[in-house]
Amino acid sequence: EPMPAGGDEQIDAWLTANPGARLVVIDVFAKVRGSAPAGVAAYDADYSAMGRIKRVADRHGVAILLIHHVRKAAAEDFLATVSGTNGLAGAADAVLVLERARAQADGVLHVTGRDVDETDYPLAFHAERGAWEVLDGRASDYLLRDTRSQVIRYVRDYPGQKPKQIAEALQIEAGTVRQTVRRMVDDGQLRAAPGGYYFPAGDSGDGGDDPADEPLSLLSPRHSGEPLPDPG
């Protein structure tokens, strides 16, 4: 049942009857949270809904994993992508956001919480096993390669773009794009023009390895063949 209708009490009773249980998974949270009471602010309603689950977890000393949605819009702070108000993240002990990348890393798991170190884990997805694997190294290393692949494809389709335009079209943080295009110029993958405009370096062979030749992730939306977004 939804939490306001006794769903948390049902979980509590099940855990009492199964004292060896160590994990409860609620998939998805929106199906069981129930409607917010009339006149209650959205933040307070979100905090209360999460608080019901947390009290059960604390009482039994078990992990309760809530599967929840993220917003479609990109954000610099991954916590801002969690659907709902900050009340959800504020009441939870930890928040893990799985962001699907597009090239070398199939995904990045962002983690933050009260008793854990805030960090990012690069992940690879193995379709044959239906499982994720944590990759060696830093997530930023994989994301940088992914960003280069996106940027060079975009600039080929729309030459003469500024970093801000590229960032807005690809929904990537502007600072990351500025850093990436400078490095791509240094590596001969892009050409910088007066006024802060960037163009393809030229034909293949005048600028090192082309990131467009990197193997695609199994989860890459580029498999769909959808065109890149139009800057205009």
> Cis ω on the peptide bond leading into residue 28 (within 30° of 0)?
yes
- Interatomic CA distance for residues 209 and 188, integer angstroms: 9
Asked if the model's pLDDT at residue 48 lies above 50, the reply is: yes
61-80 confidence digits (pLDDT tens): 999 999 999 887 767 788 88
What CATH number was assigned to the domain covering residues 140-224?
Answer: 1.10.10.10
**Residues 128-150: tens digit of each pLDDT:** 888 899 988 777 667 667 788 88
Q: Are 112 and 120 in contact (CB under 8 A)?
A: no
Q: Which residues contact 13 (CB under 8 A, 6 or more apart)?
A: none
For residue 203, count CB atoms less than 10 angstroms from its CB and return exposed for 0-12, middle for 13-18, buried for 19 or more.
exposed
> What is residue 139's predicted lDDT score, i.e. its pLDDT?
78
CA dihedral 39, 45, 49, 52 (to 10 degrees): -70
**What are the tens digits of pLDDT across the range 12-29?**
999 999 999 999 999 999
Q: What is the pLDDT of residue 230?
A: 53
pLDDT in tens, 148-207: 888 988 898 899 999 999 999 988 888 889 989 998 898 888 999 999 999 998 734 333
Residue 92 has pLDDT above 60, yes or no: yes
pLDDT of amino acid 224: 38
The average pLDDT across 42-56 equals 92
Q: What is the pLDDT of residue 171?
A: 85
Domain residue ranges of the chain, discontinuous segments joined by +: 1-92, 140-224
Q: How far apart are CA 15 and CA 38, in angstroms?
A: 31
